[in-house]
Every structure is written in structure tokens, then in C-alpha cells.
Amino acid sequence: MINFNYETNFKLHSEKQISKWITDTIASEEYKLEEINYVFCDDDYLHKLNVEFLNHDTLTDIISFDYSIGKIIQGDIFISIERVEDNAKDFGVSFEKELQRVIIHGVLHYCGYKDKSDEDAKVMRDKENHYLANLA
């Protein structure tokens, strides 16, 4: 099950389509979806989580808390709509495309992909691009 929660003045236009896309991505990676809770929020909300739980005093676009066990996906994904808007401008892409990238980025972390090293980040970006193409 995928739940979408809103702590800011924002709402996804196509929850059903996005849910199917996420579910299909997880199945394609040979994992099973238990539950993901997406929380769309603002910078202040996400910054507080970043400081309180991760001891990072920085702004970020996404924080994911992974409760998965083995190949069973469970977690909470918090996304700052303000960061996504700014990043979309910085990267020269639409807000919607950047939001989709961030949404699937969190899922790919749950599927075992990392992005700390340059090599891992490239693999993550390739996977993001692959699944973004599947959404079209």
C-alpha cells in the first residue's frame, strides 16, 4: 500500500498513476511492497527531521526512513516541495519531472541502491532515468 500525506499546500495530480508506477518499479526490482508513506512538506518541516533524527543541520529534498525487512519494502519518505521546486530550476527541468525523480529515488534506496560514492550515484541516476522513462 502506498499512502500520500500532505503537510503543505500541495497535492499530487495523479496519485493512482504514481502508485502503480512505484509498485511496478518495486516488482521490477524483485521486491515486495508492504507499505510506503509519502509525506510532502516544506523546508522547515524536513529540516527539523534532518536535525532531530540525522543530526544534519542542512536543507534537503528527501529523507527516507527504511523499515524494510529483507525484500519486503516498508518505509516513510518525506519530500520538501520547496527543495524540489528550487532543484528543478537549478537543474533546468520541470517541477513535475524533478518530483518524480525524487519520489523514485527514495524507492530505489529501499531496493538497496546507494548514492554516496560517485560510482553508486551513477548507478542510482541510471536507475532513476530507466524508471522515469517507464512513467511516460
Q: Per the annotation, where are the binding residues for Zn(2+)?
A: 105, 109, 115
Cα atoms in the 13 Å half-sphere on the side-chain side of 92: 0
Q: Residues forming the annotated binding site? A: 105, 109, 115
Whole-number Å distance between alpha carbons of 60 and 70 = 27
Cα–Cα distance between 128 and 136 in angstroms, integer?
13
> Which residues on neighbouring strands pair with residue 72, listed in sequence order?
32, 69
- CA gap 114, 136 in Å, rounded: 25
CA distances from 73 to 52, 65, 76, 106, 132 (A): 24, 11, 10, 11, 20
